[in-house]
Structure 1
Amino acid sequence: MGKIRKISIGVALAIAQATSVAAQEGRLTVELNKFEPAEGGGCRAFFLFRNDTGLALEGFEMSLAILNAGGVIDRLLTIDAAPLPAHRTTLKLFEIPGLGCESISEILMHDIPACKPQNADPVDCYSFLALSSKTSARLVE
């Protein structure tokens, strides 16, 4: 068997195993729970992370596109939400500078640059991710 084929099979097995383990354990729910005005005219966003995956995540970053009231991308933000303990709900606050809360129509999670369980290789968080919002702005992928 060629070297490339062995590597490809190994990578495929590792991905299948990581996805299978995460899918069996539960969901990681990211909820945009609340907005409040921040100093300087910005917006403070409150996120709840409900980690029912069975995996303690020592690395979890979200790359977000913030859309204004007209549905146009206003800015991109990368947010580090780690650590996220297993079977816990964690509150994280993030500032969106220079944009009022009422001007945010949607937040698009367009990438997850980091999703790493403790003492393990990175995994594909999209396979067990669920998004929701209790604000006037939608949280979507």
Structure 2
Amino acid sequence: MMKKSQIALLALPLLWGAGITQAEDTKAPGISIELSATQTENAGCRMSFLIQNHHAQDITDVVYETVLFGEKGQVAQMTLLDFQDLPAGRPRVRQFHISALICDKISRVLINGAERCAIDGQAAKSCDQGLELKSMTNIELIG
């Protein structure tokens, strides 16, 4: 028969492990951007991004300055991508058509910084803080 002290010691690792799982599920404040898909169309490239606001407040307007690099690593084009509004905790998909540059000619995309970022119509710095980037395509996403 087990003593109460032995039972308590056996339960500790289970409780400790549960705390780790809960901490892993909690995202730090920031914005995650994933380049999810690309498709060459009409002598250009359609890029699909999955973006999520992990801040406590809705972002009412965000535009990122973006640099596209060619297949040899050279700057090919600079553009502004308007991701519009980003509700807190809810994923959004935004698509952009990059004209005169087919997808196979783009080696990477640089998120150069937020050109515009607003919360409730007021300028904010939240859009550059805690930026997490990843790509599900052959095009690297950096920032």
- TM norm. shorter chain > 0.5: yes
5+ residue gaps, structure 1: 1-23
TM-score using structure 1 length:
0.77
Other-structure match for 2:37: 34
User: Does the Cα contact within 8 Å between 1:33 and 1:134 map onto a contact in 2?
Assistant: yes
Number of residue pairs aligned between Structure 1 and Structure 2: 117
- Are 2:89 and 1:66 aligned? no
Structure 1 runs (4+) greater than 6 angstroms displaced: none
Question: What's 1:103 paired with?
Answer: 105
Q: What secondary structure does 1:99 align onto?
A: coil
Change in 2 beyond 3 A, CA 1:119/1:64: closer
Given that residues 25 and 54 in structure 1 are in contact (C-alpha distance below 8 angstroms), is that contact kept between their aligned partners in structure 2? no
TM-score normalised to the size of structure 2?
0.76
Residue 124 of structure 1 and its aligned partner are, at CA, apart by 4.1
- Greater gyration radius: 2
Structure number with the higher helix fraction is: 1
Unaligned 5+ residue runs, structure 2? 1-26
The RMSD of aligned alpha carbons is 1.6
Instruction: Name the counterpart of 2:11.
Output: none
Report what 2:59 is aligned to.
57
Identical aligned residues as a percent: 24
1:89 matched residue in structure 2: 91
1:48 aligns with 2:53: no
Bigger proportion of residues as strand: 2
CA distance in 2, matches of 1:53, 1:98: 35
